[in-house]
Amino acid sequence: MRAPRLEQVQGEVSAEHPAVGGARYGPGMTPTTSPRSREDHPVVAEGLVKRYGAVTALDGLDLAVPRGSVLGVLGPNGAGKTTAVRVLTTLLRPDAGRAVVAGVDVLADPAGVRRRIGVSGQYAAVDEQLTGTENLRMVGDLYHLGRGPSRARARELLERFSLTEAADRPVKTYSGGMRRRLDLAGALVAEPEVLFLDEPTTGLDPRSRLGMWEVISELVSGGTTLLLTTQYLEEADRLADSIAVIDTGRVIAEGTADQLKAQIGGERVELTVGRDADVATAREALHRAGAEDVSVDERARSLSAPVTGGTAALVAVLGALRETDAEVLDAGVRRPTLDDVFLTLTGRAAEDDAPDDGGTGGEAGGETSDAGGRGRRGRHRREGEAR
Amino acid sequence: MSSSTSASRTTAEADGRRSSGRPSPSPGGGLGQALGDGWTIAKRNLIRIKRVPDLLVGSIVSPIMFVLLFAYVFGGAITLPGADGSIPDPRAYREFLIAGIFAQTVIFGATITGSGMAQDLKTGIIDRFRSLPMAPSAVLVGRTTADVVNNVLTVVIMTLTGLLVGWRITTSVGEAVLGYLVLLFFAYCVSWIMAYLGLLVRTPEVFNNVTFIVIFPLTFIANTFVPLETFPTVLRVFAEWNPVSSVTQAARELFGNLQPGAPDPTAWPLQNPVLYSVLWGVVMLVVFVPLTVRQYQRAAAR
Ligand SMILES: Nc1ncnc2c1ncn2[C@@H]1O[C@H](COP(=O)(O)OP(=O)(O)OP(=O)(O)O)[C@@H](O)[C@H]1O
Ligand SMILES: [Mg+2]
């Protein structure tokens, strides 16, 4: 039922707007240069400004999400992600600028926007005392689905989010991940054509995060237009078609994950060897595996070189090293982190003022795998085992 | 204008395509839908009352405690004018007292609305509500309605306790029902003010402190627990025009609890207690329903 619909939607879009629907944002093409007509961009924000006293939360923010695609809004704490989502979902009036969501002006007809969107905010907005079923039925009733469909939809969503067993328990007995899933289910009750998710995986353990990613990927493959905020480059990389990096309320970079990575230097293979003599051998092996521009830290006996192809490059390097007698203590692929993005784009590190968020520390530290070829698997599996 | 029409047409088509065989939200609107949404929220709050019995226990136990404390601790010391000379008559005082306790308790019951609103703002559920295509008044209508149910339960408990200590309704069923209606209507109107305050202060704890400070004097500088004749002049004038007094007076009249031989009230509000109480209620609604709905939209948009 879902898949055919998706093809239909995307097929139509690409037929009408081959540039947008087909290539999405191809190399060298950024959303800023593509047309932002209401028909092919269900989310358009122009020059949004929101001030809180002396703090400027949004400082002329421009965003556009093409129909059926996913925009990842990436930024550190306080960048303005939540503020942007709240403006786009009619919860907050901007001081300046305009926004059109699902073809409807956010300021002129907020009720019209609300009928067409689903929102899952940064903090799960569910009623603790109500059960999962009661929460979803209430949302269905408030969308005016009618009694029967509202109940059926609640059952269906609980099933889809693996909450059937907990369906009749008050939400206060749910774990953080379960609450988050229930909140997301609430956003999907009316099958909205545009969906907003504000940091859907912050605070989730690796397994729940993977589960949430799967759910979101599935949703997106159903043709929903999605705006997703995150502090994790990996998450944007995995889920988004294009990424807008924001800082202090402004978009500071925009493009596909690959474009951004290219801009900040991409992946590096890192090696640490056991003996001083091994350093030269390792450098040799890196060259043979195609890695140029090797930088060496003699004292730490560690080497690092930019590569393309991530894991494959690592395997090639390790293959080359196996033919030598070098003692490899550590080897891995280091991928650019949000910190790298910020260092490159703003010349300063992403400030980390959310001590309650356990995930951020690991993120900022970068990622280096354990020794051996089994360190990092495909780029899409990596996140789950990273923490 | 034309571009927005074409945009909404496209969206409508997209809707139709996406939700074939699926429920789709009806555009709707109007009073019927606002009431429906209000009822949905009321159901939610009633479930909460059931699941979190602490509140209910509070609003049941405190009136029982009040009835017993006043009736048996102070009752012997308080002399009613017109009651037989200097000899205190505890039975007459209990008769006098119950309506006052009714009034005080339903007004305190109305504060639950405010702490509930503050609580909802704090937990973020209001964000969910505000992102849904529901009537902006629904959260408030639903909340205040559910709190009336809470107050009805409280009134039943108090009635039973009253009967236990010897209080009786001596009028017709119609008058008695009218008496209860005045109490509940007045409390309902107060609950809109409480909702407004709850949205203003945003913290349940602060709200509770604020209302305690305001409501205690309001319900004590009145004819609730002692006859007005004993008050110094300034307080007495305040008490005569205090709607809590008129609500109490209305209940006393309609339950047939006026003391035989007590002097007739000289102030207009107490001569026309039902009218005066209802007037106050209407004014509170006219002022605070729009004010509170606006504050709701504002508070949630911060
Ligand atoms: N209600 C408010 N009152 C005052 N300042 C606010 C308010 N809401 C947000 N801000 C400020 O606006 C800025 C942007 O906040 P916002 O919540 O949008 O950031 P964010 O990107 O979502 O951050 P996080 O990753 O921590 O969720 C911050 O500096 C914040 O302090
Ligand atoms: Mg945020």
Query: First and final CA of chain B: distance in angstroms?
Result: 31
Q: Do A9 and B130 touch (CB under 8 A)?
A: no
If you count residue pairs, one on A and one on B, with CB atoms under 8 Å apart, how many are there?
A: 132
Element (H, E) at A156: helix A147-160
Q: What pLDDT, on a 0 to 100 scale, did the predictor assign at position A331?
A: 87
| Domains of chain A in sequence order | 11-262 (3.40.50.300), 267-334 (3.30.70.100)
Helices marked H in chain B: 2-18, 30-51, 53-69, 90-123, 125-130, 138-164, 173-201, 204-220, 233-241, 243-255, 268-271, 273-300
Contacts of B133 in chain A (CB under 8 A): 111, 114-115, 142-144
Element (H, E) at A47: strand A43-52
Q: How many helices (H) and strands (E) does chain A have?
A: 15, 14
Q: B169 in helix, strand or coil?
A: coil
In terms of CA atoms, which chain B residue is nearest residue A115?
A: B133
Cβ neighbour number for residue B26 with a 10 Å cutoff: 13
Distance from CA of B24 to the nearest CA of A (A): 6
For residue B288, give Cα distances in angstroms to A280, A310, B197.
80, 63, 10
In terms of CA atoms, which chain A residue is nearest residue B14?
A: A193
Name the residue with the closest Cα to ligand 1, atom 31. Answer: A78
Q: A296 in helix, strand or coil?
A: strand
Closest CA to A329 of A292, A382, A379, A276: A276
How much of chain B, in percent, has pLDDT values that exceed 70? Answer: 86
**How far, in Å, CA of A193 to CA of A70, rounded?**
12
**pLDDT tens-digit map of A278-305:** 888 888 888 888 777 788 888 888 888 8
Q: Which residues contact A378 (CB under 8 A, 6 or more apart)?
A: A311
Average pLDDT estimate for A58-85: 93
Average pLDDT estimate for B196-205: 92
What's the distance, CA B83 to chain centroid? Answer: 33
What's the distance, CA A125 to chain centroid? Answer: 20
Q: Which has more pLDDT, B195 or A387?
A: B195
Where are the strands (E) in A267-341, listed by range?
Answer: 267-273, 295-297, 302-307, 328-334
State the helix-helix crossing angle for A2-16 and B2-18, rounded to 10 degrees. 150
Q: Do A116 and B131 touch (CB under 8 A)?
A: no
Please, which pLDDT band fits residue B222 given cuts at 50, 70 and 90?
Answer: very high
Residue A147, both tokens:
């009694």
**Sign (positive or negative) of CA dihedral A167, B28, A87, A54:** negative
Mutation target for A interface from B45, B120, B128, B296: give the one with most A CBs within 10 A: B128
CA of A199 to the centre of ligand 1 (A): 13
Closest CA to A345 of A247, A259, A243, A267: A247
Q: Do B40 and A142 touch (CB under 8 A)?
A: yes
Per-position b or e across A182-211, b if 16+ CB within 10 A of its CB: bbbbbbbbbbbbbbbbbbbbbbbbeebbbb
What ipTM was estimated for this complex?
0.82
**pLDDT tens-digit map of B231-261:** 899 999 999 999 999 999 999 999 999 887 7
Q: Do B44 and A138 touch (CB under 8 A)?
A: yes
Q: What pLDDT, on a 0 to 100 scale, did the predictor assign at position B43?
A: 94
Using the predicted structure, report yes or no on whether residue A90 has a pLDDT greater than 80: yes
Element (H, E) at A63: strand A55-65
Using the predicted structure, report yes or no on whether residue A5 has a pLDDT greater than 50: no
Average pLDDT estimate for B195-207: 92
**pLDDT tens-digit map of A191-239:** 899 999 999 988 788 888 888 898 888 888 888 999 999 988 888 888 9
Q: Is the CB of A121 under 6 A from ligand 1?
A: no
In terms of CA atoms, which chain A residue is nearest residue B7?
A: A103
Name the residue with the closest Cα to ligand 1, atom 18. Answer: A80
How much of chain B, in percent, has pLDDT values that exceed 90? Answer: 52
Average pLDDT estimate for B195-223: 92
Q: Which amino acid is at B166?
A: G
**How far, in Å, CA of B79 to CA of B86, rounded?**
7
**How far, in Å, CA of A71 to CA of B23, rounded?**
27
Ligand 2 is an ion; its neighbours by CB within 5 Å are A 81-82, 122
**How far, in Å, CA of B184 to CA of B181, rounded?**
5
Using the predicted structure, report yes or no on whether residue B194 has a pLDDT greater than 90: yes
In terms of CA atoms, which chain B residue is nearest residue A172?
A: B51
Q: Is the CB of A82 under 6 A from ligand 1?
A: yes
Comparing A25-34, B112-121, B167-176, B189-198, which segment has the lowest mean pLDDT?
A25-34
Ligand closest to A198 (CA) is: 2
Q: Do A9 and B22 touch (CB under 8 A)?
A: no
Q: Do B133 and A111 touch (CB under 8 A)?
A: yes
Q: Which long-range contacts (CB under 8 A, 24 or more apart) does B5-14 make?
A: B7/A38, B7/A39, B7/A100, B7/A103, B7/A104, B8/A103, B8/A104, B8/A112, B10/A38, B10/A39, B10/A103, B11/A102, B11/A103, B11/A104, B11/A116, B11/A193, B14/A9, B14/A102, B14/A193
Distance from CA of B226 to the nearest CA of A (A): 41
Closest CA to B243 of B270, B198, B277: B277
Name the residue with the closest Cα to ligand 1, atom 7. Answer: A52
Domain boundaries, chain B: 50-300
Q: What pLDDT, on a 0 to 100 scale, did the predictor assign at position A240?
A: 92
Comparing A287-296, B80-89, B171-180, which segment has the lowest mean pLDDT?
B80-89
**How far, in Å, CA of A142 to CA of A311, rounded?**
49
Q: Which long-range contacts (CB under 8 A, 24 or more apart) does A290-293 make?
A: A290/A316, A291/A317
Q: What pLDDT, on a 0 to 100 scale, did the predictor assign at position B183?
A: 97
Q: Which among B8, B18, B126 has the least Cβ separation from residue A104?
A: B8
Ligand closest to B300 (CA) is: 1
Closest CA to A185 of A173, A171, A172, A205: A171
Q: What pLDDT, on a 0 to 100 scale, did the predictor assign at position B197?
A: 94
**pLDDT tens-digit map of B121-148:** 988 898 899 999 998 899 999 999 999 9
State the helix-helix crossing angle for B173-201 and B273-300, rounded to 10 degrees. 30
The residue with tokens 């080359």 is: A320
**pLDDT tens-digit map of A359-372:** 333 333 333 333 33
Residues A151 and A137: beta-carbon distance below 8 Å:
yes
CA of A49 to the centre of ligand 1 (A): 13
The residue with tokens 């939400």 is: A171
In terms of CA atoms, which chain B residue is nearest residue A94?
A: B301
Q: What pLDDT, on a 0 to 100 scale, did the predictor assign at position B179?
A: 96
Q: What pLDDT, on a 0 to 100 scale, did the predictor assign at position B29?
A: 60
Q: Which has more pLDDT, A56 or B62?
A: A56
Q: Is the CB of A81 under 6 A from ligand 1?
A: yes
Cβ neighbour number for residue B277 with a 10 Å cutoff: 26
Q: A302 in helix, strand or coil?
A: strand
Residues B137 and B285: beta-carbon distance below 8 Å:
no
Contacts of B24 in chain A (CB under 8 A): 145, 190-191
Please, which pLDDT band fits residue B74 given cuts at 50, 70 and 90?
Answer: confident
Using the predicted structure, report yes or no on whether residue A126 has a pLDDT greater than 50: yes
Residues A156 and B157: beta-carbon distance below 8 Å:
no
Residues A228 and A72: beta-carbon distance below 8 Å:
yes
Put simply, whether A250 touches B (Cβ < 8 Å) is no
Query: DSSP for A64-89?
Result: EE-TT-EEEEE--TTSSHHHHHHHHT
Average pLDDT estimate for B43-55: 87
Ligand closest to A122 (CA) is: 2
Between strands A117-120 and A55-65, the pairing is: unpaired
How much of chain A, in percent, has pLDDT values that exceed 70? Answer: 77
Using the predicted structure, report yes or no on whether residue B165 has a pLDDT greater than 50: yes
